[in-house]
Amino acid sequence: MADERPVAGPRARHRHEEDFPIEWERDHYVTRREFAKFLTLGSGLLAAANVLMAIVGRLWRPAAPVAARIGRSADVPPGGSMLFRYPTPEDPCIVLREGTGELRAYSQICTHLSCAVVHRPDRDELFCPCHRGSFSTTEGRPTAGPPTRRLPRIRLEERGGEIFAVGVEA
């Protein structure tokens, strides 16, 4: 009959029928329980990965960097500073001599956003010009501005008028 409209049978699918199919198999429904399970397992996995990283970091240490000659003692007068690279040529560092005659050396990379810090002998600080952060010269701790972590310290030795870098304190 012409006026009959079969409900069943093949016909073009509407957009909403693609998005919300009646067929059980084509319906991708995430239950609250499944979602909670995913969240729990996911965060558990992240926590486990953190613990693993901590253990690995504690057990495995990079080989101690070898001592490197960085210059003559006379190159760094009291209140003066000098740049060098240690332990690799990719790691810029700064050595300075305080008024008392003590040598200090730190990584030159600001712990905030990795700009290069400069020595300001008049204010007795290491200064980062990018965001006006400053670090004390005695310990390398942040004293002002955005940085919150101290600069890695380079251990130095003076042997017969020569300065050697012998290690890094993270």
The pair of three-digit structure tokens given for residue 152, joined into one six-digit string: 């890695």
Q: Which of 112, 120, 117 is nearest to 145 (CA)?
A: 112
CB of 25 to another protein, least distance (A): 6
CB 76 within 8 A of CB 163: yes
Between 32 and 58, name the residue whose CB sits nearer to another protein. Answer: 32
CB of 19 to another protein, least distance (A): 9
Question: Which CB sits closer to another protein, 20 or 80?
Answer: 20
Phi-psi region of 140 (alpha: psi -120 to 50; beta: other; left: phi over 0): left
φ/ψ of 69, rounded to 5, equals -80, 130
Q: How far is the CB of 9 from another protein (least distance, A)?
A: 8
Gyration radius from the chain CA atoms: 31
CB of 30 to another protein, least distance (A): 10
| Residue 14 identity (one-letter amino acid) | H
Q: How far apart are the first and last CA of the chain?
A: 87
* C-beta of residue 134 within 8 angstroms of C-beta of residue 146: no
Name the residue nearer to another protein (CB basis): 16 or 61: 16
Q: Between residues 29 and 60, which has the closer beta carbon with respect to another protein?
A: 29
The contact set with another protein (CB under 8 A) reads: 3-9, 20, 22-25, 27, 29, 31-32
Q: Which is nearer to another protein, 30 or 56 (CB)?
A: 30
Q: List Cβ neighbours of 77 (8 Å cut-off, separation of 6 or more).
A: 97
Rounded to the nearest whole angstrom, what is the least distance from the CB of residue 37 to another protein in the complex?
Answer: 15
Check if the beta carbon of residue 130 is closer than 8 Å to that of residue 110: yes
